Amino acid sequence: MAFHSVEALCTAAGAVPLWEAVLLDDCQDRGVARDASFSRMAALWEAMKQSVRDYDPDKRSACGLTGGTGAQVEQAAVGLMSPFVTAVMSTALKVGECNACMGRIVAAPTAGASGVLPAVLLPMQKARGFSDEEAVRALFVAAGFGQVIATRASIAGAEGGCQAEIGSASAMGAAALVSLMGGTPEQMSFACASALQNLMGLVCDPVAGLVELPCVRRNVIGSLNALAAAELALAGVRNVIPCDEVIDAMRAVGDSLPSSLRETGGGGLAATPTGRHIAEMLSGHTQN
Amino acid sequence: MNIFDIMGPIMVGPSSSHTAGAARIGYIARRLLGCQPARAEILLHGSFAATGQGHGTDRALVAGLLGMAPDDPRLPASFELAHKAGMVFSISNTVLRGAHPNTVLLRLSDGAGQTVEVNASSLGGGRIRVNAIDGMEATFTGDYPTLIIRNEDRPGQVAEVASLLSWRGVNIATMQLYRDKRGGLAVMVIESDQPIQQNMIEVLRTSPGMVRVTYLNPERGN
């Protein structure tokens, strides 16, 4: 089964809420019971929460480039943004750093973009008192939109650039937020489209080919973009280009990206003198 | 692609292809040997060789060889755990002709005469593909219940396995046959729609001509 268009996803959400349409489709697709599907998603939510709880500000990645900034933002932010937004930023950094430092995370949709969904959902749960069950429902919404993006376009940086990883995570997060706030399926599709189009063209240019720089910090921008897209949609702002067309455009942009900007470590930040220097230093030391 | 290919897996970072996929490859290779390796030679190709150290590919492979799943929090400490467990391993780079960028060649031995060589690639999102076993082409992903049978190349072996499966109501989804030479060693890879019961595997193991029978069950995380 699986959903191949946002249009079909929204149509399926006629009789039941959109999250439930995604759950029912999963039950049919994998031949599992309703409880099994829900509890598997609930386990992912629990693991997301755990990855934030387990954050260790003293941990550094194997190459030493990454670590500590999640706590730094939490403690030393000067207040340009509200405490809620600062919490979103620090959560995104914490999970991104946890991933870079070989901690346990949930790929959503990828490991490199694993900070976005926890960053938009966890501070929201804390600020507004949503239950775990409501958060898990929002994850079904995120998964439903993510499935369409993966089917029509891509969720792999090596194929579609960072727009396919952070862009997709942001679009999934935007739709999830709208669902959490009680928005309509149409508003979810507006939010998804809006988030995706704002990050369209974002290239995958990791320094030394590692999921660290700029990946960790792009989780921050993906999260803030998701909040903005959801806020717009919930305020009733419509998106002109339909969500499926935005996804198709993202694919076309990804296809036209040169290989140097698709996770090869050959272009963008990776190709800067500093980026190259870091890569050379890292390839210098070997183990075993 | 189901929704849990999009959300998840739960894994130790930093990369689903270079870390989670590598751990799965190590685990499947261990299963193909049939026990914990006493010695392991790990040869990294392509992007695994270029960025494997920074991505923990080396530690993830060793973790898999020790029997850890991709979400095992002990994964980063796998080198130390291997030393404690008495597993001797070496890691080096190699170039494999025409291989996927994320490919590894694992040579394992149990220290008592049993060996296996596994060539496998990590395809992204934690999904993997075994390309060859003991130098013989054998392609499977472990996404389905999978039987890997190494047997003597002689008449009736395929029929015996197929009839046993059909008798127990197991539908064969795909089937591949390879051999090194006529009358030599053959590899049979069978992916099925239904899980295969443990007692059927025991029956296969004791059948004449069967050299080694491995069963991978994706529902149990392999």
Strands B136-140 and B127-133: antiparallel
Write the pLDDT tens digit of every residue in A1-48: 689 999 999 999 988 999 999 999 999 988 899 999 999 999 999 999
**Residue of B2, B7, B78, B121 to mutate when probing chain A, most A C-beta within 10 A:** B7
> Residues of chain B with pLDDT > 70: what percent?
98
Cross-chain residue pair B7–A156, CB shorter than 8 Å: no
Question: What is the overall mean pLDDT for chain A?
Answer: 95
Cβ–Cβ gap A146/B7 under 8 Å = yes
How far apart CA A62 and CA B53 sit, in angstroms, is 8
Question: Cα–Cα distance between A69 and A80 in angstroms, integer?
Answer: 17
CB contact under 8 A, B54 and A209: yes
Domains of chain A: which residue ranges? 6-287
Residues in B lying within 8 Å of A, measured between beta carbons: 1-16, 19-20, 47, 50-51, 53-56, 58-59, 71, 73, 75-76, 90-92, 124-126
* Minimum CA–CA partner of A281 in chain B: B54
> Which residue among A2, A105, A283 sits closest to B11, beta carbon to beta carbon?
A105
Residues B88 and B39: beta-carbon distance below 8 Å: yes
pLDDT at A284 (0 to 100): 67
Sequence ranges of chain B with CATH classification 3.30.70.260 = 142-222
**Exposure class string for A138-173: b at 16+ Cβ within 10 A, else e:** bbbbbbbbbbbbbbbbbbbbbbbbbbbbbbbbbbbb
Size of chain A in residues: 288
Which of B1, B11, B15, B100 to probe the A interface (max A CBs under 10 A)? B15
For B4, the closest of A40, A99, A102 (CB atoms) is A40
Question: How many whole angstroms separate alpha carbon A211 and alpha carbon B14?
Answer: 6
Nearest CA in chain A to B60: A102
Q: Which residues of B touch A279 (CB under 8 A)?
A: none
Please list every residue in chain A whose beta carbon sits closer than 8 Å to the beta carbon of residue B69. Answer: none
- C-alpha radius of gyration, chain B, whole number: 17
Stretches where chain B sits below pLDDT 50 are 221-222
Counting one residue from chain A and one from chain B, the pairs whose CB atoms sit within 8 A come to: 135
Nearest to B16 among A30, A110, A265 (CB): A110
Residues on chain B touching A29 (C-beta within 8 angstroms): 2
**Residue B203 distance to chain A (closest CA, Å):** 29
For domain B142-222, give the fold: Alpha-Beta Plaits (3.30.70)
Query: Tell me, what's the pLDDT at A63?
Result: 82
pLDDT digits (tens, 9 = 90+) for A162-174: 999 999 999 999 9
CB count within 10 Å of CB A93 equals: 27
A82 pLDDT exceeds 80? yes
Q: Where are the alpha helices (DSSP H) in A54-107?
A: 69-76, 83-100
B86: left (phi over 0), alpha (psi -120 to 50) or beta: left
Q: CA of A18 to nearest chain B CA: how many angstroms apart?
A: 14
Closest CB from A41, A98, A212 relative to B7: A41
Please report, rounded to a whole number, the percentage of residues in chain A having pLDDT higher than 90.
Answer: 90
pLDDT for res B222:
44
CATH number of the domain at B1-133, please?
3.30.1330.90
Q: Cβ of B3 and A44 within 8 Å?
A: no
The pair of structure tokens assigned to A64 is: 């030493």
**CB contact (8 A) between residue B58 and residue A210:** no
Provide mean pLDDT across the span A52-63.
93
Provide CATH 3.30.1330.90 ranges for chain B: 1-133
Q: Using a CB-CB distance cutoff of 8 angstroms, which residues of chain A are in contact with residue B126? A: 107
Question: A287: pLDDT confidence band, cut at 50, 70 and 90?
Answer: very low
For A243-259, what is the mean pLDDT? Answer: 97
Residues in chain B: 222
DSSP H helices in chain B: 3-6, 21-33, 47-51, 57-65, 78-85, 157-167, 198-206
Q: Which residues of B touch A140 (CB under 8 A)?
A: 3
Read off the DSSP letter of residue B171: P
Q: Write the ipTM.
A: 0.95
Give SS3 for A134. helix
pLDDT in the model for residue A62: 82
Residue-wise DSSP of B195-217: ---HHHHHHHHHSTTEEEEEEE-
Residue A286 has pLDDT above 50, yes or no: no
Reported confidence tier of residue A125, pLDDT bands at 50, 70, 90: very high
Q: What is the pLDDT of residue B220?
A: 55
